[in-house]
Chain A
Amino acid sequence: MKHLLSTASLSKADALKIMDVAENLSSISDRPIKKLPTLRGRTIVNLFYEDSTRTKISFEAAAKRLSADVLNFAAKGSSVSKGESLKDTALTLKAMGADAIVVRHPSSGAANQLAHHNWIDANVVNAGDGTHEHPTQALLDAFTIRRVLKNSSGDLTGLNVVIVGDVLHSRVARSNLWLLNTLGAKVTLVAPPTLMPRNIESWPAETSFDLDESLVNADVVMMLRVQQERMQDAYFPTVREYANRYGLTQKRLHVMNAKSIVMHPGPMNRGVEISSQIADSDKSVIVNQVQNGVFVRMAVLYLLLGGQSDDL
């Protein structure tokens, strides 16, 4: 693996390797000194064209625990409004000797272009590109599911995962769909028809417009963040109606499987797609997701920058 650009192109073997390495690396957090010397002298650039707190500090923590030098390159708004193209930024980072670039960008395909357009030779990790993919989020989600709902097969065979919300615009939904499918889980996408892509029958998933019906057999319920701008574009009438029809509210608890878990990639809109009670309940593994994110990102950086899984 030279780059991590999408889960659609990630093999099952590579996905499991990342998760297994993450498992090994997680033990470091219990040590008094939470640091490995593995990536000493390597430079990792966090290139963030979109505001992001959690993903950025998660990658930064991951890189630092592996002793890499971390440079943060934050660009406000799009490259055009900033006056420098992605290409020129890539050439700049190349000149600075970046070994790996962790990129978040509002344009779908930006990570792909960085990796393949002959601008720079560094390893590229996609930290979210437009409405395309967010592969490390999916990996940390799968890792979290595997840890909580222990499965003898080592993958996610037989689990029912329901993903609820703005499927049309969600890179988290896309990355999760492909990866969960690769790992053997059965995925159901739930959204109002306006937020469901057309021609979705080509995707390896069940679809439903009815949340309650979908919750019955779910082992995992993954809620997606509702972006404010969807409101203005008339994808649904009001936030209240959305919360009623597609929000994970307290009254829906009784239809859920007792052992099922609730996930959210954050940041949450409490009271919109998820109620506070559920977010803070025993069912919620949202805090685990954040913690696991660091381990998974350590594993990705470790493997991309040449570490071997048997060195650990």
Chain B
Amino acid sequence: MTNNTKTLKSVSLYGEEEVDLVIENDLITQILPSGTSDKGEVINASGLIALPGLVDLHCHLREPGSEDAETVLTASRAAALGGFTCVFAMPNTKPVADNAGVVEQVKHLGDEAGLVQVQPIGAVSINQSGNELAELGAMAQSAAQVRIFSDDGNCVSDPLLMRRALEYVKAFNGVIAQHAQDPGLTKNSQMNEGSVSATLGLRGWPAIAEESIIARDCLIAEFVDSRYHVLHVTTARGAQIIKEAKERGVKVTAEVTPHHLLLTEDLIEGYSPVYKVNPPLRTKRDVLALQEALASGVIDCVATDHAPHSEENKDCEWDQAAFGMLGLETALSVLIQTMIKTKKISWRILAERMSLSPAKIAGLNDQGQPIAVGSYANLVLVDPNAEWTVKPENLASKSQNTPYQGLTLPGRVVHTIYRGKFTVKNSQVQA
């Protein structure tokens, strides 16, 4: 028995049976009847639910380039506090992560922080400008081993470039993750187009701008038989198009953000830019359809689109404000509120959507493993009965642009374990 042994005593696996979970070094080595193990450091986990460490396919860590808003270290803290053991970093940094050098730098910063596995996403096109393919193969072969490529924030709107990208990444089992937004239909768009935008006098962002790109891309992915991932689906029709594509065998996967599962466009009535996000908040009908699609598996996973912005980019006129909202520290609680409390899904399905599926889409073998003997000890222990009130100043992120300010949310991350080490213990980050 080594010093790196611990027992999580009387922990409930997936909200089901209670067990004693024994961790040695970075592996789960034994699962014993509750109350029978005293090996190593014993942590009383009675009343806590254990899930596989969460995996987030969609974050903006802002480093390099916008360290005033967030760094890899501060985002790693936020991620650990949110129960994540792996986060994917979008390439819209300064410089853009469109080459092996930048993705390796981001990977290295993540390793240095050491709180979560940081996996860079590479840009599809040089400088995310939508003109020429970036060196996708070089990024795949680099130390960062990039498999997901995206121009997130920009849509790959040129159908030929999209086709080429989808074809090219087949050589290394890559996937193209699309920010579905037809730029011609969304010039200066500010919020969902509908009765609220009409009344507020904010330029509308039609649902069809998203849906038409999803439909087109599903056809291209089908034609070239490659893997296509839809970032942050926000409309009922978008989910329907994905469902139909899946039914005819298209290799399409999709994600939804916590905020699109909870928040609706009418929050914008006071013009607070904290609700300004791309893609925009939609209608109640869309929210319910997205919850349904996540429950049924049409939408494969939850991704936060964690997008920190410094105060000067948010405390200003609506149309001058930046798009985006924080998400890492609140994601699990929002999912408990929208999906668990409402009995739309079980904890086991939650684990599927927030850990197993995203790891699989990313082609990661060492994350998103089920809680079993021999799996890596990547775990989150959540108190399902706790509640907490979101206070921006208490968040670990360097920015404060949370849309949940003042909301009381259910479920609290108590411990997060990454490769056998506590990154969060008693809700305190360990670095």
Shortest beta-carbon distance, B213 to chain A, in Å? 20
Contacts A80-B320, A105-B317, A130-B319 given; indicate if A198 touches B204 (C-beta within 8 A): yes
State whether the Cβ of B195 lies closer than 8 Å to any Cβ in chain A. yes
Contacts of B317 in A (CB 8 A): 79, 85-86, 105, 107, 109-110, 113
Residues of B within 8 A of A129 (CB): 201
A-B contact count (CB 8 A): 77
Residues of A193-228 whose CB lies within 8 A of B? 197-200, 202-203
Distance between Cα atoms of A196 and B167 in the complex (Å): 42
Find out whether the CB atom of A174 lies under 8 angstroms from the CB atom of B199. Answer: yes
Q: Does any Cβ of B come within 8 Å of A8's Cβ?
A: yes
B27 smallest CB distance to A (angstroms): 52
Tell me, in angstroms, the Cα distance from A203 to B320 when the chains sit together. Answer: 28
Indicate if A65 sits at the interface (CB-CB under 8 A).
Answer: no
Q: Judge if A64 is at the interface, Cβ distance under 8 Å.
A: no
Interface assignment of B340: CB less than 8 Å from any CB of chain A: no
List the B side residues contacting A112 at CB < 8 Å.
Answer: 270-271
Alpha-carbon distance between A78 and B318 when the two chains are bound, in angstroms: 12
B293-322 toward A: CB 8 Å interface, digit per residue (1/0)? 000000000000000000010011111100
Q: Are A200 and B198 in contact (CB under 8 A)?
A: yes
Residues on the B chain within 8 Å of A80, using CB: 320
CA distance A198 to B201 in the complex (A): 12
Does A117 sit within 8 A of B, measured CB to CB?
Answer: yes
A residues 71-102 in Cβ contact with B at 8 Å: 78-80, 85-87
Is A198 a contact of B193 with CB atoms below 8 Å? yes
CB distance from A91 to the nearest CB of B (A): 11
- B202 located at the interface, meaning its Cβ lies under 8 Å from any Cβ of chain A in the complex: yes
Q: Tell me the bound Cα distance from A130 to B200 in angstroms.
A: 9
Q: A108-B271, A112-B271 are in contact. Are A198 and B316 (CB under 8 A)?
A: no
Q: How far is the CA of A202 from the CA of B199 in the complex (A)?
A: 10
Given A78-B320, A108-B318: A202 touches B201 (CB 8 Å cut-off): no
Q: Which residues of B contact A85 (CB under 8 A)?
A: 312, 316-317, 320
Question: Are B316's CB and A174's CB within 8 A?
Answer: no
In the bound complex, CA of A200 to CA of B204 (Å): 13
Residue in chain B with minimal CB distance to A174: B201
Q: Quick one: which of A86, A87, A107, A131 has the most chain B CB within 10 A?
A: A107
Chain B 174-199 near chain A by CB (<8 Å), digits 1 or 0 = 00000000000000001001110111
* CB-nearest residue of chain B to A202: B195
CB contacts under 8 Å to A, within B194-216, are: 194-195, 197-204, 206
**Is there an interface contact between A198 and B194, defined as CB atoms closer than 8 Å?**
yes
Q: Name the A residues within 8 Å of B195 (CB-CB).
A: 197-200, 202-203
Q: Mark A261-283, 1 if CB is under 8 A from B, else 0.
A: 00000000000000000000000
By the criterion CB–CB under 8 Å, are B201 and A116 in contact?
no
Q: How far is the CA of A49 from the CA of B203 in the complex (A)?
A: 19
Contact B198 A199 (CB under 8 A): yes
Across the two chains, which residue of chain B brings its CB closest to A200?
B198
Determine whether the beta carbon of A87 is less than 8 Å from that of B201: no
Beta-carbon contact of B201 and A199 below 8 Å? no
Residue of B nearest to A130 (CB): B201
A56 interface contact, C-beta 8 A: no
Q: Given A87-B315, A117-B315, check contact A198 B320 (CB 8 Å).
A: no
How far apart are the CA atoms of A168 and B204 in the complex, in Å?
10
Q: How far is the CA of A85 from the CA of B311 in the complex (A)?
A: 12
Besides A110-B317, A130-B202, 7 new A-B residue pairs in contact (Cβ under 8 A), listed by A number: A105-B317, A108-B190, A108-B271, A129-B201, A131-B202, A171-B201, A198-B204
7 A-B pairs with the lowest CB-CB distances in the bound complex, closest first: A109-B271, A132-B201, A197-B198, A131-B201, A107-B317, A108-B201, A199-B195
Of the A-B pairs whose beta carbons lie under 8 Å apart in the complex, a sample of 24, sorted by A's number, is A79-B317, A79-B320, A85-B320, A86-B316, A105-B317, A106-B319, A107-B319, A108-B271, A108-B319, A109-B202, A109-B271, A109-B317, A110-B318, A113-B271, A129-B201, A130-B201, A174-B199, A197-B198, A198-B204, A199-B195, A199-B198, A200-B195, A202-B195, A203-B198
